[in-house]
Chain A
Amino acid sequence: MKRRTGNWLGHIRQTVSRVWRGIRQWCGDASYERYARAHARHCCGATLLSREQFYLEEVEKRYSRVSRCC
């Protein structure tokens, strides 16, 4: 019985954390971490942008193309 409750709690915790991760990615909160991970993987030699620089460049780029519909 105790084990089953533990499994349940584990599932709930996992689901909540997955939803939280999804919301952070959807709204752009996790963009910098994702960029830093990709930078570590691919951009050997290139300077890693600070969080502030990254944010400014991202919003500048996003609003220079059609990003919202009617």
Chain B
Amino acid sequence: MGAIAIWTVIAIGGALALGKIALYRGEAINATWFVIAAACCYLVAYRLYSALISAKLLALDDTRATPAERLDDGRDFVPTNKWVLFGHHFAAIAGPGPLVGPTLAAQFGYLPGTLWLIAGSAFAGCVQDFIILFCSIRRDGKTLGEMARDEVSKRGGFIAQIAVLAIMIILLGVVALVIVNALKSSPWATFTLAMTIPIALLLGVYLRYLRPGRVLEASLIGVALVLFVVVAGRWVADSPAWAQVFTLSGVTLAFAIMAYGFAASALPVWLLLAPRDYLSAFIKAGAIFSLAAGILIVRPDVHMPALTKFVDGTGPVFAGKIFPFCFITIACGAISGFHSLISSGTTPKMIQREGHARFIGYGAMLMESFVGVMAMVAACAMQPGVYFAINSPPAIVGAAGDAATATISSWGYPVDTATMASLAHAVGEQTLFNRTGGAPSLAVGMAQIFSHTIGGERLLSIWYHFAIMFEALFILTVLDAGTRVGRFMVQELAGRVWKPLGRTGWMPGILLSSAVIVGAWGYFLYQGVIDPLGGINSLWPLFGIANQLLAAVALVVATTILLKMDKLRWIWVTLIPTVWLVTITMTASWQKIFDPSPRMGFLAAANAMAAQLVAGNIPAAKIAETQRLIFNQRLDAMVTVVLAGMILVLLVEALIQWTAILSKRKAAVLHESPYVATRWAAGAEGD
């Protein structure tokens, strides 16, 4: 009775807070409402919806031994305490996506993104992560690709493999672009990030030769050194000679990041990649908890309106109407196909009991969504005029400060050059105009929240550069680990053509495959850097489409398995998110390819530039660059066609399978491992 009363109060609190943020139309709304709405909705979703899935769909069975118990080898299969595994799983799924996506989607106002973050995670993202984790546990920790091949079809497995490679390439290109845009013309930020490389090398040597495997002490030394270089960056920025050394153009930074990616992929993993990952894990956890605490302490006002005029698709940050682009832009905080790779990776091999899958699979995704809500609050807490001045590319608002402020003010979001200059000075930057990509505006928002908690205005520049360093370090971790995994995928494919290329220890093969994968994402990065619209405009939607394609693969696998488990009555749990994802992905793909507006459609943009070229309106010096831009637009259109085509093939494949199962033409054979009773007593906890 008492429990019912508590849950009723939580549900009413969530409904009231949601109602407040949905219906409020005043000057500013306090961020506390966002925290209450999100927390109450997540609690109710966890208590009711995940319990329903656990009991009715999956029938989680704690008497059944998990792969970690049956195959325990102390290395891959390790029974792990559920809180520790929750931390592992959360650290693996939480990347820069839930920070950048909501920041970009704030151009529609705070409401659409916040509602999608909350509802999308509860009804789609968490469901996907939870069910794929369960399916993998029941199959000895098989990967998504293996499950797609066994349970759907060989073609399904092949699509999953290609989708993973496609998403990897586009993801790495777009996140690298976010770093480039954050570091461009910023000597302080560039110095700080550059210094994390020798720090990582130092830690690599420490962990390899001096104190092998002592991760905790090495990470603490590393974190102290990183905090020192954040502060030291100011001295570099204040020194004219050193500031010049670290003031780099977008193209130079792009090539520097490609060189870093190549080195991280080709060098021994203990030297650079692993120590950087250990370092970033602590900084990531610290920054996320500090942001949550900062929002609760400062309780900032959200100045962005609930809905902006840009829901009609004319926004400066990226082109596209609220439907479908809000749901494509915010991928990771609501649903991310990439998570299904983690849910079918290490986590299922470490889980101690089936019952823990609910807390780890569903719960960790709720926490990631909460990170997305905090990013939305941080972005919307600044004045809308300032937000648009930072995130709008020069091709839309003009490169000069006066022109940009006049354009943005004419939209109804007042901002002036004096405000922007004083903010840039306060955060230690030369300018904050046209800093597209989401990272700088998020850093400004985070710095304002942190400085209100500790240090006031005096420490704003330190906090800003701490936030930039945190975002960049976060992204570089994804970039170097992703490049290396991409290298293995390329080697696996190349090994089918010529065997030696598949050998992961053969140096020519390593160098060649590293060059191929870096060249692939590097090309997308380069095209983003030279794009006059800032690159994010076309690349982020492409990433969203690729990510949601992978989510569609995961949900189709989950739906097929549920059908085979004879759970037709509950099939809507995965079927509705699948239909929603296919709808938004196909609509976005269609619009990105065929929309007649050059700002929106890849082909229209290519045709418009080609027409300018034919009419002789392009100066001779710009002809080669324009031809490159035309090629890039057509390439993006082709990539989108391939991604959309894969979704259609997968859908047809799945429908054939489902019809065959339902009409009993095909036996519903599940590829689960046989039941083995657990030897552990109820309530016993492992390591």
Residues of A within 8 A of B (CB): 22-32, 34-39, 41-43, 50-52, 54-56, 58-70
Residue B21 at the chain A interface, CB threshold 8 Å: no
Contact A25 B84 (CB under 8 A): yes
Minimum CB–CB distance from B319 to chain A (whole Å) comes to 22
Inter-chain contacts of A68 with B (CB < 8 A):
92, 95, 277, 477-478, 481-482
Bound-state Cα–Cα, A26 to B219, Å: 13
Most buried by A among B76, B91, B477: B91
Inter-chain contacts of B338 with A (CB < 8 A):
66, 69-70
Closest 9 CB pairs of A and B: A38-B74, A55-B213, A52-B212, A29-B216, A59-B274, A70-B97, A35-B74, A66-B341, A26-B87
Q: Is the interface of A mostly helix, strand, loop or mixed?
A: helix
A23 and chain B: residue at smallest CB distance: B216
A20 and chain B: residue at smallest CB distance: B216
Residue B88 at the chain A interface, CB threshold 8 Å: yes
A-B contact count (CB 8 A): 136
Contact A38 B208 (CB under 8 A): no
Contact of B84 among A26, A36, A42 (CB under 8 A): A26
Contact B72 A38 (CB under 8 A): yes
Chain B 556-609 interface residues, beta-carbon cutoff 8 Å to A: none
Residue B80 at the chain A interface, CB threshold 8 Å: yes
Inter-chain contacts of B478 with A (CB < 8 A):
68-70
Minimum CB–CB distance from A29 to chain B (whole Å) comes to 4
Contact A55 B269 (CB under 8 A): no
A25 and chain B: residue at smallest CB distance: B84
Contact B88 A26 (CB under 8 A): yes
Contact A51 B171 (CB under 8 A): no
Inter-chain contacts of A27 with B (CB < 8 A):
215-216, 219, 278, 281-282
Minimum CB–CB distance from B66 to chain A (whole Å) comes to 15
Contact A70 B484 (CB under 8 A): no
Minimum CB–CB distance from A28 to chain B (whole Å) comes to 5
Inter-chain contacts of A42 with B (CB < 8 A):
72-74
- Decide yes or no: A51 and B213 within 8 Å by CB, A22-B81, A70-B171 being known contacts: yes
Inter-chain contacts of A30 with B (CB < 8 A):
687
Contact A65 B345 (CB under 8 A): yes
Inter-chain contacts of B331 with A (CB < 8 A):
70
28 chain-A/chain-B pairs, Cβ below 8 angstroms: A25-B81, A25-B84, A27-B282, A28-B213, A29-B213, A34-B74, A37-B74, A38-B72, A38-B73, A38-B74, A41-B72, A41-B74, A51-B212, A51-B213, A52-B212, A55-B208, A55-B270, A61-B75, A66-B164, A66-B485, A67-B92, A67-B345, A69-B342, A70-B96, A70-B97, A70-B175, A70-B336, A70-B478
- Decide yes or no: A69 and B484 within 8 Å by CB, A29-B216, A52-B208 being known contacts: no
- Decide yes or no: A25 and B212 within 8 Å by CB, A38-B73, A42-B74 being known contacts: no
Residue B54 at the chain A interface, CB threshold 8 Å: no
Most buried by A among B277, B478, B543, B547: B277
Bound-state Cα–Cα, A28 to B207, Å: 12
Bound-state Cα–Cα, A52 to B170, Å: 36
Inter-chain contacts of B484 with A (CB < 8 A):
63-64
Given contacts A52-B213, A67-B342, A67-B345, 5 further A-B contacts (CB under 8 A): A37-B74, A63-B484, A67-B485, A70-B167, A70-B171
Contact A69 B208 (CB under 8 A): no
Minimum CB–CB distance from A22 to chain B (whole Å) comes to 5
Minimum CB–CB distance from B98 to chain A (whole Å) comes to 9
Contact A55 B212 (CB under 8 A): yes
A59 and chain B: residue at smallest CB distance: B274
Contact B274 A63 (CB under 8 A): yes
Minimum CB–CB distance from A40 to chain B (whole Å) comes to 9
- Per the CB 8 Å criterion, the residue count for chain B at the interface is 59
Q: Mark B76-118, 1 if CB is under 8 A from A, else 0.
A: 1010110110011001111111000000000000000000000
Most buried by A among B88, B97, B269: B269
Bound-state Cα–Cα, A24 to B219, Å: 11
Bound-state Cα–Cα, A69 to B341, Å: 8
Inter-chain contacts of B345 with A (CB < 8 A):
65-67
Most buried by B among A27, A36, A39, A43: A27
- Decide yes or no: A69 and B278 within 8 Å by CB, A27-B219, A42-B74, A59-B270 being known contacts: no
Inter-chain contacts of B273 with A (CB < 8 A):
59, 63
A55 and chain B: residue at smallest CB distance: B213
Contact A25 B75 (CB under 8 A): no
Contact A65 B485 (CB under 8 A): yes
Residue B339 at the chain A interface, CB threshold 8 Å: yes
Minimum CB–CB distance from A49 to chain B (whole Å) comes to 10
Contact B336 A29 (CB under 8 A): no
Q: Mark B134-147, 1 if CB is under 8 A from A, else 0.
A: 00000000000000
- Decide yes or no: A56 and B270 within 8 Å by CB, A25-B81, A37-B74, A70-B338 being known contacts: yes
Inter-chain contacts of A31 with B (CB < 8 A):
213
Inter-chain contacts of A69 with B (CB < 8 A):
92-95, 97, 332, 336, 338-339, 341-342, 478
Minimum CB–CB distance from B521 to chain A (whole Å) comes to 13
Bound-state Cα–Cα, A8 to B230, Å: 40
Residue B488 at the chain A interface, CB threshold 8 Å: yes
- Decide yes or no: A54 and B213 within 8 Å by CB, A69-B94, A69-B95 being known contacts: yes
Bound-state Cα–Cα, A64 to B293, Å: 35
Chain B 340-395 interface residues, beta-carbon cutoff 8 Å to A: 341-342, 345-346
Residue B425 at the chain A interface, CB threshold 8 Å: no
Inter-chain contacts of A59 with B (CB < 8 A):
269-270, 273-274
Inter-chain contacts of B485 with A (CB < 8 A):
63-67
Minimum CB–CB distance from A30 to chain B (whole Å) comes to 8
Contact of B687 among A25, A55, A56, A61 (CB under 8 A): A25
Contact of B208 among A26, A41, A50, A56 (CB under 8 A): A56
Inter-chain contacts of A62 with B (CB < 8 A):
274
Inter-chain contacts of B63 with A (CB < 8 A):
none
Minimum CB–CB distance from B278 to chain A (whole Å) comes to 7
Minimum CB–CB distance from B608 to chain A (whole Å) comes to 31
Inter-chain contacts of B274 with A (CB < 8 A):
59, 62-63
- Decide yes or no: A22 and B208 within 8 Å by CB, A55-B270, A63-B484 being known contacts: no
Bound-state Cα–Cα, A50 to B167, Å: 38
Inter-chain contacts of A25 with B (CB < 8 A):
80-81, 84, 687
Chain B 211-251 interface residues, beta-carbon cutoff 8 Å to A: 212-216, 219
Bound-state Cα–Cα, A25 to B45, Å: 29
Q: Mark B258-280, 1 if CB is under 8 A from A, else 0.
A: 00000000000110011001100
Minimum CB–CB distance from A41 to chain B (whole Å) comes to 8
Most buried by B among A30, A31, A36, A65: A65
Minimum CB–CB distance from B284 to chain A (whole Å) comes to 10
Inter-chain contacts of B270 with A (CB < 8 A):
55-56, 59-60
